[in-house]
């Protein structure tokens, strides 16, 4: 913990100033995946340098150094992660940890045929995404809530309550497509990276915090807390667009996802089955309208896809 004294106030001001100036100078570069990470990293190095000097002297960013406080700690047998630029394997390990926690709250529905069916649909849709190479895993979990979750590296879960609202395969494909979109765009991963890099920045004065944050199990916080958190609205809209695009490319009727958004929108605000969903997502009406703007006339010349209600798997209970 930082003590609230003049020094830490100065340091905080310094961190803000450095971040602001870096953000300003980098604002034209919008496409870099690891922009957040790069900024934080640069800021951190700059902060380190400046803390060693007089707090009043503002200096330009120091030349690139090869090591940071985080990568110089000793190797341990526990799973660790390079937060600046996580590898695919690290991303998967992170997603697995989150998934295990989520499944600790709501286990899989014990129905092999259901799980295999959902994995078949999901795998086909994921194959039409930009990351067909991930080992995609799908699961229907025991909950009567209406919700779905994605974790980094290709883990996707939907609740039984949401599955029950569906009446055909195109709708399932659309919903899974939305979650696949989150994974492809690395929305949750970026939230975690940002948080960890900020923690590390704050933890520079506390070696233990910086060290602990290397470990996946410690880094994701308490349980599946990350899954109960909101992403930016723009991330949800992006996942809607991607989900609809993937399902359409897969040969499904394009409006499966919007069918489900319609059903969600008809669920009362006070119904507890949508409490978490409505807390963490823009209202379905807003999502439909925004998706409609993006669709425009883009689907006018696309051959109608399949809904496949005939083979849609019916829940046993």
Partner 1 sequence: MRNLTRLLIAASFPALLLANLSMAAETGSALKNDSIRFEPFADAKIIGKFNRGDKVEILSKKGAWLQVKTTKNTGWVRLLSIKRGSSASGNQAAGALAVASGRAGTGQVVSTTGIRGLSAEELKAAKFNEAEVKAMESYTQSASQGKQFADAGGLQTVTFPNLKAVSGGSK
Contact 259, 176 (CB under 8 A): no
Task: For residue 78, state whether it binds partner 1 (rule: CB under 8 A).
Answer: no
Task: Indicate left, alpha or beta for 296 from its phi (over 0: left) and psi (-120 to 50: alpha).
Answer: left
Closer residue to partner 1, CB minimum distance, 19 or 166 = 166
| Contact with partner 1 (CB under 8 A) among 7, 107, 232, 233 | 107
Q: Where are the beta strands (DSSP E) in 33-154?
A: 137-141, 148-151
Binding to partner 1 by residue 11, rule CB under 8 A?
no
Beta strands 155-159; 148-151: pairing state: antiparallel
Residue 216: count other Cβ atoms within 10 Å of its Cβ: 20
Contact between 263 and partner 1 per CB under 8 A: yes
* Least gap, CB of 201 to partner 1 (angstroms): 24
Distances (CA, A) of 264 to 100, 182, 283: 27, 19, 9
C-beta closer to partner 1: residue 15 or 242: 242
**48-77 binders of partner 1 (CB under 8 A):** none
Q: Among the candidate windows 19-27, 34-42, 51-59, 256-264, which touches partner 1 by CB under 8 A?
A: 256-264
For residue 136, state whether it binds partner 1 (rule: CB under 8 A). yes
- In sequence order, what are the residues at sequence separation of 6 or more whose Cβ sits closer than 8 angstroms to the Cβ of residue 125? 173, 176, 177, 180, 246, 247, 250, 252
What are the two backbone dihedrals, phi and then psi, of residue 313, each rounded to the nearest 5 degrees?
-70, 125
Cα radius of gyration rounded to whole Å, the chain = 22
DSSP type of residue 255: T
Task: Give the nearest distance from C-beta 33 to partner 1 in angstroms.
Answer: 16
In the complex, least distance from residue 163 CB atom to partner 1, rounded to whole angstroms: 11
Q: Looking at 13-21, 51-59, 65-73, 107-115, which segment touches partner 1 (CB under 8 A)?
A: 107-115
Nearest-CA neighbor of 83 among 133, 49, 44? 44
Q: Within a 10 A sphere around the Cβ of 76, how many other Cβ atoms?
A: 10
Q: Which is nearer to partner 1, 83 or 237 (CB)?
A: 237
Q: How many CB atoms lie within 10 A of CB 288?
A: 17
Residue 71 · residue 82 · CB < 8 Å: yes
Map residues 165-184 to x or -, x wherever contact with partner 1 holds by CB under 8 A: x-xxx---------------
Applying CB under 8 A, does 126 fall inside the site for partner 1? yes
Is there a contact between 245 and 126 (Cβ–Cβ < 8 Å)?
A: no
d(CA 189, CA 195): 10
Q: Is 120 in the site for partner 1 (CB under 8 A)?
A: yes
Using rule CB under 8 A, residue 80 touches partner 1 = no
Minimum Å gap between C-beta 171 and partner 1 is: 9
Site for partner 1 in 84-103 (CB under 8 A): 96-97, 99-103
Binding mask 197-226 for partner 1 (x = CB under 8 A): --------------------x----xxxx-
* Choice from 19, 192, 254, 313 touching partner 1 (CB under 8 A): 254
Integer Cα distance of 96 and 154 in angstroms: 9
Binding piece for partner 1, criterion CB under 8 A, among 22-30, 37-45, 70-78, 127-135: 127-135
Residues 273-292 that bind partner 1 (CB under 8 A): 273, 275-276, 279, 285, 288-292
Among the residue ranges 4-12, 42-50, 80-88, 131-139, the one whose residues contact partner 1 (CB under 8 A): 131-139
User: Per CB under 8 A, which region of 10-18, 48-56, 57-65, 247-255 contacts partner 1?
Assistant: 247-255
């Amino acid at each position: 913990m930082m003590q609230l004294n003049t020094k830490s106030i100065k340091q905080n001001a310094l961190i803000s100033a450095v971040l602001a100036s870096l953000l300003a100078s980098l604002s034209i570069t919008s496409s870099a995946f690891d922009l957040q990470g790069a900024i934080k990293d640069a800021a951190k190095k700059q902060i380190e340098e400046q803390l060693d000097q007089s707090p009043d002297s503002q200096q330009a960013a120091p030349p690139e150094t090869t090591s940071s406080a985080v990568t110089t700690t000793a190797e341990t047998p526990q799973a660790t992660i390079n937060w600046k630029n996580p590898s695919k394997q690290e991303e998967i390990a992170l997603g697995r940890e989150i998934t295990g926690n989520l499944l600790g709250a709501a286990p899989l529905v014990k129905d092999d045929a259901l799980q295999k069916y959902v994995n078949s649909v999901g795998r086909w849709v994921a194959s039409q995404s930009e990351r067909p190479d991930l080992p995609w895993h799908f699961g229907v979990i025991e909950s009567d809530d209406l919700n779905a979750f994605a974790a980094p590296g290709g883990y996707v879960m939907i609740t039984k309550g949401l599955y029950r609202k569906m009446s055909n395969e195109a709708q399932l494909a659309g919903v899974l497509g939305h979650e696949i979109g989150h994974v492809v765009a690395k929305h949750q991963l970026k939230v975690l990276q940002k948080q960890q890099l900020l923690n590390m920045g704050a933890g520079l004065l506390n070696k233990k915090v910086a060290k602990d944050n290397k470990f996946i199990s410690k880094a994701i916080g308490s349980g599946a807390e990350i899954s109960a958190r909101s992403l930016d609205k723009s991330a949800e809209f992006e996942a809607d667009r991607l989900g609809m695009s993937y399902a359409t490319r897969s040969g499904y009727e394009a409006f499966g996802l919007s069918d489900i958004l319609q059903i969600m929108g008809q669920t009362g605000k006070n119904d507890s089955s949508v409490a978490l969903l409505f807390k963490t997502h823009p209202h379905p009406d807003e999502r439909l309208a925004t998706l409609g703007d993006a669709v425009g006339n883009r689907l006018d010349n696309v051959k109608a896809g399949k809904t496949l209600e005939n083979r849609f798997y019916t829940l046993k209970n």
